[in-house]
Amino acid sequence: MFEIFGIPSQALFGQLLLGLINGSFYALLSLGLAVIFGMLNIINFAHGAQYMMGAFAAYLLLQYLGLNYWGALVIAPLVIGAIGIVIERLFLQHLRKLDPLYGLLLTFGLALVIEGLFRNAYGSSGQPYQVPPALQGGRNLGFMFLPNYRAWVIALSVVVCFATWFAIERTRLGSYLRAATENPVLVRAFGINVPRMVALTYGFGVALAALAGVMAAPIYNVSPQMGSDLIIVVFAVVVIGGMGSIMGAVLTGFALGIVEGLTKVFYPEASNTVIFVLMAIVLLIRPAGLFGRRA
Which positions touch another protein (CB under 8 A)? 42-43, 91, 94-95, 98-102, 104-106, 108-117, 119-120, 229, 232-233, 235-236, 238-239, 269, 272-273, 276-277, 279-280, 283-284, 287-288, 295
d(CA 75, CA 65): 12
CB nearer to another protein: pick between 7 and 112: 112
127 by DSSP, 3-state: which? strand
Q: Which is nearer to another protein, 122 or 152 (CB)?
A: 122
Using CA atoms, how far apart are residues 70 and 26, in angstroms rounded to an integer?
A: 22
CB of 123 to another protein, least distance (A): 9
Q: Which helix (H) or strand (E) holds 7?
A: strand 7-8
> Smaller CB distance to another protein: residue 175 or 272?
272
* Minimum distance, C-beta of residue 106 to another protein, in the bound complex (Å): 4
- Work out how close the CB of 75 gets to another protein at its nearest, in angstroms, rounded to a whole number: 26
262, burial (CB in 10 Å: exposed 0-12, middle 13-18, buried 19+):
middle
Beta bridge partners of 147: 138
Alpha-carbon torsion (170, 205, 16, 145), positive or negative: negative
Q: Residue 8 forms beta bridges with which residues?
A: 3
Residue with Cβ nearer another protein (112 or 156): 112
CB 52, min distance to another protein, A: 13
Provide the Cα torsion 162, 142, 258, 203; round to 10°. Answer: 30
Is the CB of 114 or the CB of 180 nearer to another protein?
A: 114
CB of 266 to another protein, least distance (A): 17
Residues forming a β-bridge with 146? 139
